[in-house]
Amino acid sequence: MTSRPNLKDFSPERLREQLATAGLRPFRADQIVAWLYRRGVEDFDSMTDLPLEERRRIGAEFELRALEVAAIDRSRDGTVKAALRARDGSVVESVLIPEEDRTTLCVSTQVGCPMACSFCATGFLGFTRNLTTAEIVDQVCRMREVAGAGQQISNVVFMGMGEPLLNTEAVIEAVRLLVHPKAFGLAPRRVTVSTVGVVPQIEKLLESVPVNLAVSLHATTDLVRDQLVPLNRRFPLAVLLDTLRREKRLSARRPVFVEYTLIGGVNDALADARRLPGLLHGIPAKVNLIPMNPHPDSPYEAPSEASVDRFMRELAARGMTVTVRRSRGEDIQAACGQLALRRTRDSAA
Ligand code: SF4
């Protein structure tokens, strides 16, 4: 692997510093950023407003691509899932989800994941390493090419492989590039970082960048959450929810998105639906219910339509803002980690 830094590892401000350290003119940072992110150009020969000699020097000092597309699966419903290969051969996944009013890209933050959530395909892969900022940002660059000119990525969610708040520094710098007006220029409300509850990092994220926070709750008792999300043994429900309750940056205008994967017979009972509003009392929250998309390595099952409906109605009746997020791309195993798991199994076979 190369030891040269990657241009995509740095926000425009930090890139200025890096260029200066390398003896290059700092103001070139704005030109480079415009080529890379606004115009999607990754070839120094095309960066014609930079003098040839400076292009050569920048090319000698820095890398500019971190990922290559290894495989693409397209679903009947328009969802596109890509396996992207890093320079060390590691493979991560990104999923593009077109909807009527937006196109959302789901990005990964780690190769595998150490959290071992028992319902998650990525949890079965184990953990290899954190992604760099450039590897996170390059998922947007590569998937923008995959999407083509007619489809603009409008939203980015950090909900792919890995726990983003175990890689907080790289995630924060990637968010800075996503929302920076000179880089991708996304509105901050269109970027969401999800966590299973790495409590000490929540405040750091929210004070550093103006993104949406999503918390994967998935249970209303510690007994069940301990089984689904082993991190709960370290940061139990009361600790996690108290942290959210005390977080001053959350408000009705900037609520936390509470992700709740409904698993048949595990956490989809009426009693859970009745407990949840009490647990979230005092927290500006919107609840997303996600019916489980079962995968072959998981012992868990999808909930019945009736239990999804009952759960949603119960929350709505208790004044909660609640939506049901249907699985997309089931025919291409688009749930987090499923493609990589399949590839790992195939190569083992
Ligand atoms: S659900 Fe998220 S945190 Fe848990 S194992 Fe899967 S990728 Fe990791």
Which residues lie with the beta carbon below 6 Å from any ligand 1 atom?
A: 113, 115-117, 120, 122-123, 161-163, 196, 336
C-alpha 89 – ligand 1 centre gap (Å): 21
Angstrom distance (rounded) from CA 148 to CA 3: 32
C-alpha 253 – ligand 1 centre gap (Å): 27
* pLDDT over threshold 70, residue 336: no
In a domain, 173, yes or no: yes
- Which of 108, 131, 157, 163 has most ligand 1 atoms within 8 Å of CB, for mutation? 163
In a domain, 2, yes or no: no
Query: What is the pLDDT confidence band of residue 319, given thresholds at 50, 70 and 90?
Result: very high
Q: Is the pTM of this model over 0.85?
A: yes
- Catalytic residue numbers, as ranges: 93, 336
Q: Which residues are within 8 A (CB) of 238 and not within 5 positions of it... i.e. 6 or more apart?
A: none
- Torsion angle (degrees, nearest 10) of CA 42, 44, 47, 52: 170
In a domain, 1, yes or no: no
In a domain, 221, yes or no: yes
* pLDDT over threshold 50, residue 180: yes
Domain count within the chain: 2
Angstrom distance (rounded) from CA 270 to CA 191: 32
In a domain, 107, yes or no: yes
Give me the CATH number covering residue 329.
Answer: 3.20.20.70
C-alpha 119 – ligand 1 centre gap (Å): 9
Give the pLDDT confidence score for residue 340 in this predicted structure.
54
Give the pLDDT confidence score for residue 342 in this predicted structure.
54
Angstrom distance (rounded) from CA 20 to CA 4: 15
Least confident piece of the model among 120-124, 129-133, 180-184: 120-124
The answer to whether the CB of 278 falls within 8 A of the CB of 220 is no
Q: Which atom of ligand 1 is nearest to the CA of 163?
A: 3
Q: Are 39 and 165 found together in one domain? A: no
Query: Average pLDDT of the chain?
Result: 92
* pLDDT over threshold 50, residue 10: yes
Task: Match 């990104």 to its residue by tokens.
Answer: 94
Task: Match 């890689």 to its residue by tokens.
Answer: 167
- Which of 109, 111, 120 has most ligand 1 atoms within 8 Å of CB, for mutation? 120
Nearest residue (CA) to ligand 1, atom 3: 163
Per residue in 47-74, pLDDT tens?
A: 999 999 999 999 999 999 999 999 999 9
The answer to whether the CB of 202 falls within 8 A of the CB of 247 is yes
Per residue in 229-280, pLDDT tens?
A: 999 999 999 999 999 999 999 999 999 999 999 999 999 999 999 999 999 9
Residue range of the domain that includes 99? 67-348
Angstrom distance (rounded) from CA 133 to CA 37: 14
**CA–centroid distance for 291 within its chain:** 19
Query: Higher model confidence: residue 148 or residue 349?
Result: 148
- Torsion angle (degrees, nearest 10) of CA 191, 197, 203, 205: -30
Nearest residue (CA) to ligand 1, atom 5: 123
The continuous run of DSSP H or E covering 130 comes out as strand 127-130
C-alpha 194 – ligand 1 centre gap (Å): 10
Q: Are 71 and 54 found together in one domain? A: no
Per residue in 142-178, pLDDT tens?
A: 999 999 888 899 999 999 999 999 999 999 999 999 9
Give me the CATH number covering residue 56.
Answer: 1.10.150.530
